[in-house]
Chain A
Amino acid sequence: MTKIEDYGKYETAWCPGCGNFSLLEAMKSGLVKAGLAPDRVIFVSGIGQAAKAPHYLNANVFNGLHGRALPAATGAKIANHEMSVIVESGEGCCYGEGGNHFLAAIRRNIDIAMIVHDNQIYGLTKGQASPTSQEGMKTKAQPGGVLSERFNPVAVAVAMHAGFVARSFTGMPDHLSDMINLAIRHRGFALVDVLQPCVSFNKVNNFAWYKKRCRELPPDHDPLDWEKAMKIAMEWDEKIPVGVIYKNDRASFCDRLSVLGKGPLAERGVDKKELASILDEYM
């Protein structure tokens, strides 16, 4: 049995009061709920304050380039589909720099849980707008206010029939670890957009702001109902729904790759007989 202690405890580089702390604890607790030992997990992250998170627990970690966590994670999953692969990074990395990969991962339905730290601001580079920043929000880089409309990752994911789409908030640690557990267990692409305050740079969307708005979906919400989910995904301003908004049981990418039926690629050698028959075609 995997215990929470197996995932260790480390010093971090985060500001006191950062939402990342509760997300880190919820992550560990989600992993334990999912029954995963550290050596069966590969964390892939990009660049940003959130992308440092996998360094602060015990697991296999590939901390790659900004925006490129998803492709690296997709490669890792294809190489060894028996491993649980988790992408953990910020919204700038996942939806901004890596936006194209976000769309492609949903289309592939690659079996990866993508846990996005979404604080609606860039922390690492000290307070510029992020793809999810509220329109009109003033920052040093957008002194006249953000001109672009807020990117709605949940709505995009639902619109594209992503395998599993959830939202949570770092102020609801049990809910958050449940969402992480469900995302890890989902056999397909699973998004958890995690709202979290940035105490240093986002003075608008602070803890109280989220606390006031985040509402758990009613127990009778049917996540299989796409049209309903689409409607919920568009709710934001006064009431922000959290929970499993949408899911489906479409076969995952690796489940549709017949070549993986013979076991993980990482464990296979070269079959000389097959090689001979391949080369024979060139005679």
Chain B
Amino acid sequence: MSVRAFNIAIGGEAGQGIVTIGELLSKLLVRSGYHIVVTQSYQSRIRDGHNTFYVRTCPDLIEAPQESIDLLIALDGETIPIHSGKIGAGGLILADEALACEDERCLRIPYKELSKEKFNSTAVLGVASSILGLDREKAAALIGERFGKKHPEDVKENLLALARAFDWAAGNNERSAKFPKVAAGGGGAVQFPKASAGGGARMMMNGNQAIALGAVSAGARFCAFYPMTPSTSVPLTLISIAEKAGLVVEQVEDEIAAVNMAVGASYAGAPSMVATSGGGFALMVEGVSLAGMTETPLVLVVAQRPGPATGLPTRTEQADLGFVLHAGHGEFPRAILTPGTVEECFHLTRRAFFLAEEFQTPVFVLTDQYLADSFRAVEPFDIGSLDFVRPGSGYAHGGGPTGGAAPPGGEAAAGATAGRSGPESGAYLRHALTENGISPRLIPGMSANLVVTDSDEHTEDGHLTEDLEVRILMVEKRLKKSEGLIKKSVPPEYAGDDAPEILLVSWGSSRGPVMEAARALRENGKTTAVLHFSQVWPMAPEAFIKYLDKAGRVVSVEGNATGQLAALIARETGFMIGDRISRYDGRPLTPEYILRKFDSLAGKGSSPGGKE
């Protein structure tokens, strides 16, 4: 592949500081002008086991992980045999000299001489950074920031360890003299591409942090959660900024409480969200239906991991599309946004809050462990242009009621102070029937109007009813909102050749790997394109059916075993996608994986898609 990327893997046992080293190295790379794609592969345990933190880096934008390794940083002996087969030509292994390593590519480092054991992570960072030719001052600044806040007493020792490590790896000793700096590129070492001097003014964040920041920027005021990997870093990020941002994040007794609490908070005027994963979301399902029935805005972040049941708690999968699409009894509208990049995690979460508020219905952000934990370099957001939701300003959104609803404001207190004699007495109608199905939403306590809603079927004023004529009107009213949601849906992205021989169809976090695989196919002489969905529901077939019809061979690429997007497309358009690339081993899709699977598909001969 022509991508000038360089893949670093840090492997070791849980508890050895892999994530600390990985995050610091990633941040240093971003500050040095590099793009990164981080993939975290860890076991569901706090100590021992084998964990790997991959940082794929490149001066140019990259958006996919890579399987082959250029630099392996081994923190324990087990790491070397696990990964050595994936180390490419000219690759390098960094390992403590105390570890047994027969591999000639191994640079054995006397960490004991460089630092006390406590500061080993900094020494590892120093050796790696020095070998990559990264700037010593930038590394020192990062160490100062990292330890200055929490452990100021340790800054000096850390900086000393960093300096010794840099010096050692700079070649001022016999052993490392044999190993020229990777950056120098000489002597058969792997080329580490230099970033241009102008770079560096980017943020570093992972998918879940971007979701949390997007939520806060959109005006989120409340999040309820029960911890569940890989969703937990969304509420944890929110908690870290809660005081500044002015929001409440509550760890609750169970996911049922979480969703009901969020719906209650949203009803009372706080833009609200929950974040969970498969099993936790299963517990929330009745609450999703409640939000649909009471027409209460609600944002649900679902970070997928492999199921069924507890599945593989710390791995990735894209197998909950069908579940999220159908979760909740009864019929009501919803939207499902599926970010493919960290930037999209930010912007689509914002979009989710606006859609939920406008259409007064649940909106999902469907992500997964890979994207949740994947750090990237992100261009700073234009904060000035970021609007936020204003609950209860529904009159501006819905195009106005067709009748019956009292205007918002202080004096329309028919129900409150005039002592109405029955629910039909002209008070504010929370569920007023309107042309577009959107009822003007008021917030209790913000005016003298009384806001009444019910999980039972209800009349326009929100009181429960068993009038079956009203039932028909209310079902139609709620579903009417789907039309608006379709109009505001994000159309799928089409990238690549027109009328291609190969069309890859993907959604969510597989965007980057699929795009890169498509580029490789194109370089191999096949016209190729990608049709990528960053919103899977509602679906507007007229926006994309032509691409399916015009392509030669259509292949769906999904991180699940059954082709859930392909099945949804078939249901909505009648177009049967002929070939499928699936991954369900808990690992993220990679360009290499897609190309290998494509080759074996190609061997079988084409199964042309088309309408049945």
Q: Which residues of A contact B (CB under 8 A)?
A: 3, 5-6, 8-11, 37-40, 42, 44, 47, 52, 55, 58-65, 68, 70-80, 82-83, 100-101, 103-104, 257-260, 262, 264-272, 274-279, 282-283
Contact of A79 with B221 in the complex, beta carbons under 8 Å: yes
**Contact between A260 and B248, CB atoms less than 8 A apart:** yes
23 A-B pairs in the complex with CB atoms less than 8 angstroms apart: A8-B415, A37-B416, A38-B417, A39-B413, A71-B258, A74-B264, A76-B265, A76-B267, A78-B250, A78-B261, A83-B444, A100-B257, A104-B253, A264-B269, A266-B443, A266-B446, A269-B388, A269-B390, A272-B386, A277-B244, A278-B241, A278-B245, A282-B378
User: Taking A37-B417, A270-B217 as contacts, is the C-beta distance between A79 and B269 under 8 angstroms?
Assistant: yes
> Which of A42, A55, A74 is close to B444, meaning CB atoms less than 8 Å apart?
A42
User: How far is A113 from B532 in the complex, measured between Cα atoms in Å?
Assistant: 51
> What is the interface of chain A mostly: helix, strand, loop, or mixed?
helix
Closest to A108 in B: B250
B472 close to chain A: CB less than 8 A: no
- Residue B168 interfacial (CB < 8 Å): no
Cβ-neighbour of A266 out of B203, B262, B270, B450 (below 8 A): B270
Nearest-neighbour CB distance to chain A for B132, whole angstroms, equals 21
Assess A80 versus B250: contact at CB under 8 Å? Given A6-B419, A75-B263.
no
In the complex, are the beta carbons of B263 and A64 less than 8 A apart? yes
How far is the CB of B368 from the nearest CB of chain A, in Å? 21
A272 and B262 in contact, given A78-B270, A83-B268 (Cβ under 8 angstroms): no
Task: Report how far A76 CA is from B296 CA in the complex, Å.
Answer: 12
Chain B residues near A279 (CB-CB < 8 A) = 203, 213, 380-381, 383
Enumerate chain A residues within 8 angstroms of B269, measured Cβ to Cβ: 79-80, 264-267
Q: A72-B260, A79-B222, A262-B246 are in contact. List 14 more A-B contacts (CB 8 A).
A: A8-B420, A38-B415, A44-B264, A58-B415, A64-B264, A75-B222, A75-B262, A78-B250, A101-B257, A104-B253, A258-B243, A260-B248, A272-B386, A279-B381
Of A61, A103, A264, which is within 8 A of B253 by CB?
A103
Q: A60-B451, A64-B264 are in contact. Are A8 and B421 (CB under 8 A)?
A: yes
A-B contact number at CB 8 A: 232
Partner of B222, one of A40, A78, A270: A78
Least distance between B381 CB and chain A CB atoms (Å): 7
Q: Which 7 A-B pairs have the closest CB atoms?
A: A266-B269, A75-B264, A72-B264, A75-B265, A79-B270, A60-B444, A79-B268
Q: Is B510 at the interface (CB under 8 A from chain A)?
A: no
Given contacts A58-B415, A275-B383, contact A100 B253 (CB under 8 A): yes
* A84 → B minimal CB distance (Å): 10
User: What A residues does B497 contact at CB under 8 A?
Assistant: none
B246 in contact with A265 (CB, 8 Å): yes
> Among the listed A65, A82, A264, which residue makes an inter-chain contact with B260, where contact means beta carbons less than 8 Å apart?
A65
B463 within 8 A of A: yes
Contact of B244 among A37, A76, A274 (CB under 8 A): A274
Residues A10 and B422 in contact in the complex (CB < 8 Å), given A60-B450, A265-B270, A268-B246 = yes
Confirm or deny: B154 has a beta carbon within 8 angstroms of a beta carbon on chain A: no
How distant is the Cα of A5 from the Cα of B419 in the complex, in angstroms? 6
Contact, CB under 8 Å: B244 / A278? yes
Residue picked from B222, B384, B445, most chain A C-beta under 10 Å: B445
Q: Which residues of A contact B445 (CB under 8 A)?
A: 39-40, 42, 60, 80, 82-83, 266
Closest A residue, CB atoms, query B392: A266
B219 on the A face (CB < 8 A): yes
In the assembled complex, B601 has its CB within 8 A of some CB on chain A: no
Is B221 touching A265 in the complex (CB atoms < 8 A)? yes
B454→A71 contact, CB < 8 A: no
Q: How far is the CB of A254 from chain B (nearest CB, A)?
A: 9
Which residues does chain B contribute within 8 Å of A271, judged by CB atoms?
246
From the candidates A3, A9, A42, A76, name the one contacting B421 in the complex (CB within 8 A).
A9
What B residues does A63 contact at CB under 8 A?
453-456, 464
A258–B269 CA distance with the chains assembled, in angstroms: 19
Identify which of residues 430-479 in chain B touch chain A, using a CB-to-CB cut-off of 8 Å.
443-456, 462-464
